[in-house]
A and B are shown apart, each in its own frame.
Chain A
């Protein structure tokens, strides 16, 4: 029977997939209807797939009306984005990827146990149960899998520490507190294939000898929480959990809880403040017991590796960074969404090959990787391969996979200010350099973007940044100055323009902008005056207009409204 699948991840639902689903549910059509996870083409949501035998047709930007027509057999070619025969306007978006972690996302109904087992789900767990725990650890070690949360620590080695730690009570923890603004890989993996994460955790539990586990998930991801809870109860019902009890804990809105020692404190019901290591979590972690903590994507890799073998995993990626990595492409890119590529793929392939280039064909300026802990990689380094060695060499970090693309309208001083204001909000306050130092960095950046920069500011930023890195206990403080250091490294001229010339070269920082009317080109059409929200533009129809700089809030509405390019922005 024909199947119709609607992408009902958070992106899809936000774009209206719920209404599409509802319309299809109400018809008594001759098809099986189900939801599916994130297909990755967030830019074309809502997405509807028609599966008939071997043939698969994926339609994008589908309205409820169009969905009904498709259900009745219509084939709106203009909305076909991908098909199994290689047709579709965005077929290359998927063709240019290597989907290992996302193997089931968009293919199966995430709420269906049968769908998951039909793709070979829980075969890896069965295999893991039939071999010795040391053997599981060896397979993961051989695969070269490294932690996908950002640090890239070898997963097999981590497991071996927890496995050999003495103690009867051990814990397995999954970090799903995806706090980096601009990152949604983990959310999409959970929403699209929750059983893969559960299976990975159960395999890890067997490897280290844990009987209890926690998934710490952001409260901002209610759908992910729901799907995890459903998957956990389904796995328990079928007897897959083999005495391992898994529980979902919702975060309460603290970025620092992405740091594992803080995350443990939060699960315990305390303030999420990091503690000193050693002792490492493998000896004394959650509730003071040996604990293994990995990120969502890391666990999702595990069943694939156990089933297909370490060598198959190593066949992808680079020698030191084997396998694939999922990236969340966002920002000023044409095709934003979820993209999985082999490690070692150049950034340019992600931005232009998969992402389709920059919106409005503007100039590609930079990509921000690693969120508030990361940095901006400039256009001239776009051929840098994405792996755990090459990205840190640029001053950025791999991070968990957020990739925000920026064009020439993004001011790099403002971007640094933006991340610092985030870090200041999120610093737990334990270390003086992080708590006070970042505040001083932020004040300095606010002054520069407000047009009050001083010549000595740049060297102050550099010195204090180094001190904060040295004087902070956890990853949050140690990486907080990265956005400043990378932008200073590649865009020092922008800082200088703000400070020395009182100009923002990207025309972003309002305090540094002036708007005036060009008497040569103004036709007196009055559009600018109508667009101005504060009535700062005056002039009669057909006559030269003028802007009152006292009233002007520099919002740029007149600049955007003028059809004759007669507004001068400086």
Chain B
């Protein structure tokens, strides 16, 4: 069902409308948007590279540096905020030694905060890769992290 970046690029020749779907495919497949990706999209769609870069830098979904193996998204929406999301971010950030937006030096984890994951009644919530974890405590969030790192060893 999901098409690869190369397949999508093949179908999207000359279509300016395809800029964002192409960037999304690249972000999913390669974990980031490289200089080379921007050139390919420019060539495919016929839009200038500066225009593609402008679009990519506008939306929060795209990053220009490689992401870690696991992507952690801590929800900091309103319901999660009042339920203590700040302390979850603090705990994870402390455990991983990176600020939100950062990637661990071993490239295993990237920590992000997001505006709302939409499962407010389970607040506070975080998502690691595709899996959602709700009703977290700071200690509980760190425990989930360890489970993801595999067999309880420190991430």
Contact = CB atoms under 8 A, between A and B. Distances in A.
Interface of A: 10-11, 13-15, 42-43, 45, 178-184, 187, 219-222, 249-250, 252-255, 266-273, 328-332, 336-337, 368, 371, 402, 404, 406, 409-410, 415, 418-419, 422, 426, 428, 555
A175 to B, nearest CB: 15
B55 A330 contact: no
Interface size on B, as a range, is 35 or more
A267 B21 CA distance: 10
B119 A220 contact: no
Nearest to A191: B118
A450 to B, nearest CB: 14
A513 to B, nearest CB: 14
B16 A254 contact: no
Contacts of B133: 14
Contact of A181 (B18, B59, B77, B134): B77
B121 A336 contact: yes
Contacts of B78: 181-182, 330-331, 368, 371, 402, 404, 418-419
Nearest to B122: A14
A249 B21 CA distance: 8
Contacts of B117: 10, 220
Contacts of B58: 254, 271-273, 428
Contacts of B23: 252
B118 A254 contact: no
26 contacts: A10-B119, A11-B122, A14-B119, A14-B125, A14-B133, A42-B122, A181-B116, A182-B78, A182-B116, A183-B116, A184-B118, A222-B130, A249-B20, A253-B59, A255-B115, A269-B17, A269-B18, A269-B55, A271-B58, A272-B58, A272-B59, A273-B58, A330-B120, A331-B123, A337-B121, A555-B87
Contact of A253 (B18, B60, B122): B60
Which among A182, A254, A336, A402 has the greatest number of chain B C-beta atoms within 10 A?
Answer: A182
Contacts of B107: none
Contacts of A268: 16-17
A372 to B, nearest CB: 9
A191 B51 CA distance: 35
Interface string B97-118: 0000000000000000011111
Nearest to A11: B119
B16 A252 contact: no
A270 B55 contact: yes
Output the residue of B60, B77, B116 with the most chain A CB within 10 A: B116
Given A42-B122, A337-B121, A331 B115 contact: no
A252 B59 contact: yes
A404 B79 CA distance: 6
Interface string B127-151: 0001011100000000000000000
Interface string B42-73: 00010100010011001111100000000000
B24 interface: yes
Contacts of A409: 82
Contacts of B60: 252-254
Given A182-B77, A250-B21, A404 B118 contact: no
Residue of A183, A428, A555 with highest tally of chain B CB at under 10 A: A183
A269 B24 CA distance: 12
Given A330-B123, A336-B120, A428-B58, 15 more contacts: A10-B117, A10-B118, A181-B80, A181-B115, A184-B120, A220-B114, A220-B118, A252-B60, A252-B61, A252-B62, A272-B58, A331-B78, A331-B79, A404-B120, A555-B87
Closest 6 CB pairs between A and B?
A181-B77, A336-B121, A330-B120, A42-B121, A252-B59, A182-B78
B132 A10 contact: yes
Contacts of A187: 118
B115 A11 contact: no
A182 B116 CA distance: 7
Nearest to A40: B121
Contacts of B55: 269-271
Given A271-B54, A418-B81, A330 B17 contact: no
A180 B116 contact: yes
Contacts of B77: 181-182
B19 interface: yes
A503 to B, nearest CB: 20
Nearest to A178: B118
